[in-house]
Amino acid sequence: MYDVREWRHVFKLDPNKPIDDELLERVCESGTDAIVVGGSDGVTLDNVLDLMVRVRRFPLPCVLEVSSLEIVTPGFDLYLIPTVLNTNRAEWITGLHVEAMKEYGDLMDPGELIVEGYCIANPDCKAAKLTGVSEKPDTEDVIAYARLAGHLWKLPVFYLEYSGTYGDVEAVQQAADVLKGTETVFFYGGGIQTAQQAKEIGQYADVVVVGNAVYEKPEEALKTVAAVQK
């Protein structure tokens, strides 16, 4: 079984964005620890399955981040299940999850499911709009959400999400300090475009997530792997 506690780097690929075979091969053979299939916009069962089949040709974990019930499908190695800690819309905290339990509860393998406690720190990103996060958490808030995830709820993953913008390094560092000594794995995602940025964040986050850069600056994106691997 794959263990997120051993990861340092993942590429998050958006099923709604085209990627040619050559780049996909380079991404999958880059030495990254896993491919996460996920996005907020235009994600359908068809494009999820299409990307899954293409990633499956390579020997690394292929993971689905479940952003809606429509895209739930067997065939992935793991399923990351976001719960948004800093929204006040209950459907994004437990509502959709309860629906999923009703629909798929009997079919699920709990060993393949990993809950991610999301703190969405960029209110302009699509995930924030979708889930109703309108305020940017300040450093004190981020620390509190990290504590909530790591100390109180003891979630497997705390995900600090700056999607599309490079994060506040001070907040990242403080969240990492809070999570030290807990079982909660600290994922950071957002705006990593260069090896230098990956290295900076990788000093603090357990797992560095690189998304958009794959499509926008592929050569730089590929260099982020070596920048954070042990």
**Min dist. Cβ of residue 106 to ligand 1GP (A):** 30
Would you state the torsion angle of the CA atoms of residues 173, 179, 181, 182, taken in this order, to the nearest 10 degrees?
-160
Backbone angles phi, psi at 87, to 5 degrees: -115, 160
**Min dist. Cβ of residue 211 to ligand 1GP (A):** 3
**Min dist. Cβ of residue 163 to ligand 1GP (A):** 4
**Min dist. Cβ of residue 191 to ligand 1GP (A):** 5
**Min dist. Cβ of residue 81 to ligand 1GP (A):** 14
Radius of gyration over alpha carbons of the chain, in Å?
16
3-state helix, strand, coil in the chain (%, to 5): 45, 20, 40
Is the CB of 144 or the CB of 207 nearer to ligand 1GP? 207
Strands 113-120 and 78-84: parallel
**Min dist. Cβ of residue 159 to ligand 1GP (A):** 7
Is the CB of 111 or the CB of 149 nearer to ligand 1GP? 149
Is the CB of 83 or the CB of 163 nearer to ligand 1GP? 163
Q: Which residue's C-beta sits nearest to ligand 1GP?
A: 189
Q: Is 22 exposed, middle or buried (0-12, 13-18, 19+ CB in 10 A)?
A: exposed
Token pair of 107, please?
A: 């079919």
Decide: 39 and 16 in contact? Cβ < 8 Å: yes
Is the CB of 108 or the CB of 129 nearer to ligand 1GP? 129
Is the CB of 164 or the CB of 218 nearer to ligand 1GP? 164
Sign of CA pseudo-dihedral 196, 202, 204, 208: positive
Strands 113-120 and 185-189: unpaired
Contacts of 157 (CB under 8 A, 6+ apart): 4, 80, 114, 115, 116, 117, 149, 184, 185, 186, 187
Which residues here bind ligand 1GP, judged by CB under 6 A?
Answer: 12, 161, 163-164, 189-192, 209-213
Is the CB of 108 or the CB of 217 nearer to ligand 1GP? 217
**Min dist. Cβ of residue 34 to ligand 1GP (A):** 13
Is the CB of 52 or the CB of 209 nearer to ligand 1GP? 209
